[in-house]
Amino acid sequence: MAYKGFTILQNRSSALSLLKTGTGRNLLASKTLKSIFFAWTAILLLFGSPESSQAKDKALANKIGQMLMVGFRGLEVNKDSAIIQDIAQGRVGGVILFDYDIALDKPERNIKSPEQLKALTSDLQAASEEPLFIAVDQEGGQVSRLKEKHGFSPGASQARLGRRNDPELTARNASRTSETLARMGINLNLAPVVDLNVNPDNPVIGSLERSFSNDPDKVALHARQVIQEHRKKGVLTALKHFPGHGSSSRDSHQGFTDISKSWSKTELEPFKEILQTVGADMIMTAHVFNSRLDPKWPASLSSRILNDLLRLEMGFDGVIISDDMQMGAIRKEYDLETALERTVLAGTDIIVFGNNLVYEPGIAQKATQIIEKLVQKDRIPASRIHNSFDRIMELKDQLTGKGD
C-alpha cells in the first residue's frame, strides 16, 4: 500500500475541515469530492495503518512468547547469550534448567553450585520485562536437578515418602525443597507427580520411584502437602502427568506410548481431588496415547482430553503446560507445525522445549513464527493465544503479589 495510515488520516481530516466551510458545502455536491472522501475512509477501514498492523503483530508475537518455555546451555549468561536475547525480545516467557546435558552426554548444563545457580537465575530474571518462569524438575530421589554433589541437600523420592505415609514428613521434605528453590531464584517446580504406581516396572514412573502410591487417595494426600509447602515459599508447582502415565510400559521420552489397555479412570482421581481441595497452579500433560479418550491424538495434542475432559468436565481453568515437546512420542511422530497447531488448539498454555534431548538453539523464534503463521491462516483462532496469555499473566501476578 503506497499511502501511510497517517497520511490517510491527515488527508481525511483536511477533507472534513473543508466540508465545514462554505466552499466545502458548495463542493459537497461534487461527485469528485465525495468519491475522494469516501475512498479515504474505505482505505483506512480496510487496511488500517502499517504502524497499527505492525504493533498488532508484535503484540501477538509477545503473547506467543509468553507461551514458550525453553532450555539452554550454559552455567552463566551475558547480554550476548542467545537465551538472554530471546528473553529480552519477548520470545520466551520461561526457562527450564537441567544439571545434565543429555544430547552431549555431559554432566554439566545449568547447575554447578548454589552460588553459580543463584547468579544465573538472577541474570535471567533481570533480562525480562515480565516475571520469568524459571522451572526445574525437583521431585526428589532420582529426579532431582539440584543434587548433593552440587552442594544441595538430598530429598526423598516420592515413592519413599509414600511408603512412610507420614504427611508431616512429606510436608517437611517439601518445605526444605521449596525453601532451597526460592533461595536459588527458581519459582516453578515441575512437581509433584500424581501418576498412580499402577505398573511398578514402568520405565519412567514406577521404576524411578516417582509415584507416591497406587492408591489415589494417598497420592492426593501427599501431593497436597507438596503444593501447600511450595506456596508458602512463593514457588509454583505443576501436577503431572495428565491424564495419568503410571500404567505405561514404555517411556514417552523414547517414542510412541500407548496406554489404551492399561489406563483406568482411577488415574484421574488424584487430579480431581486436588482440584476440589487446594487447587493446582499448573497441570502438565502426558505424551501418552489413549484411544479410549481420543482415537487419534496423544493427550498433549488432544482437545478431547485437555479441553473436554480437563477443562469442561473437571473444571480446571488454570495453566496447562506440556511435557517436553522434543520427546520421542511427539518429535518422532509429528512435524513441528502439526505438533504446535494441535497442542495450542487442544488448550495447552505453556509449550515446553527442553532443548536437552535434542538441541535447537533457535527453537523459540521458529515456534513463534509457525504459530503466528497458523493464526494468520485462521488455523488457530487468535482468541486461543489471548486466553493462554491471560492465564499465564494471572499466574505470574501471583509471583509478584499482584494476584493477592
**What's the pLDDT tens digit per position in 285-339?**
999 999 999 999 999 999 999 999 999 999 999 999 999 999 999 999 999 999 9
Same domain (yes/no): 36, 126: no
Same domain (yes/no): 80, 43: no
Same domain (yes/no): 107, 183: yes
| CA dist., res. 109 & res. 12, Å (int) | 59
* pLDDT at residue number 322: 98
Full-model pTM: 0.86
Query: Average pLDDT of 337-358?
Result: 98
Higher pLDDT, 34 or 69: 69
In sequence order, the 6+-apart residues with CB closer than 8 A to the CB of 375 are 60, 381, 382, 385
* pLDDT at residue number 241: 96
Residues 306/346, Cβ–Cβ less than 8 Å = yes
Same domain (yes/no): 127, 272: yes
* pLDDT at residue number 257: 86
Specify if 103 maps to a domain.
yes
Specify if 396 maps to a domain.
yes
Does 25 score more than 80 pLDDT? no
Same domain (yes/no): 34, 180: no
Same domain (yes/no): 48, 85: no
Does 373 score more than 60 pLDDT? yes
Query: Average pLDDT of 370-385?
Result: 97
Domain count for the chain, please give it.
Answer: 2
Same domain (yes/no): 47, 194: no
Query: Average pLDDT of 250-268?
Result: 89
| CA dist., res. 209 & res. 140, Å (int) | 9
| CA dist., res. 336 & res. 339, Å (int) | 5
* pLDDT at residue number 19: 39
Q: Which three cell numbers stand for residue 62?
A: 509477545
| CA dist., res. 62 & res. 369, Å (int) | 11
Q: Which residues of 93-111 are buried (b: 16+ CB within 10 A; e: fewer)?
A: bbbbbbbebeeeeeeebbb
Show which residues are catalytic: 253, 323
By DSSP bridging, strand 143-144 and strand 138-140 are antiparallel
* pLDDT at residue number 52: 64
Does 20 score more than 50 pLDDT? no
Specify if 139 maps to a domain.
yes
DSSP annotation of 132: P
Residues 298/342, Cβ–Cβ less than 8 Å = no
In sequence order, the 6+-apart residues with CB closer than 8 A to the CB of 255 are 328, 329, 332, 333
Does 9 score more than 80 pLDDT? no
Specify if 61 maps to a domain.
no
- CATH of residue 117: 3.20.20.300
Average pLDDT, the chain: 89
Query: Average pLDDT of 159-172?
Result: 98
> What domain range is 305 assigned to?
67-400
Query: Average pLDDT of 260-272?
Result: 97
Specify if 324 maps to a domain.
yes
Model confidence over 180-236: pLDDT tens digits? 999 999 999 999 999 999 999 999 999 999 999 999 999 999 999 999 999 999 999
Specify if 190 maps to a domain.
yes
Specify if 333 maps to a domain.
yes
Same domain (yes/no): 338, 393: yes
Please name the amino acid found at residue 57.
D
| CA dist., res. 99 & res. 90, Å (int) | 25
Helix orientation angle between 363-376 and 50-66, rounded to the nearest 10 degrees = 120
Does 114 score more than 90 pLDDT? yes
Same domain (yes/no): 270, 351: yes
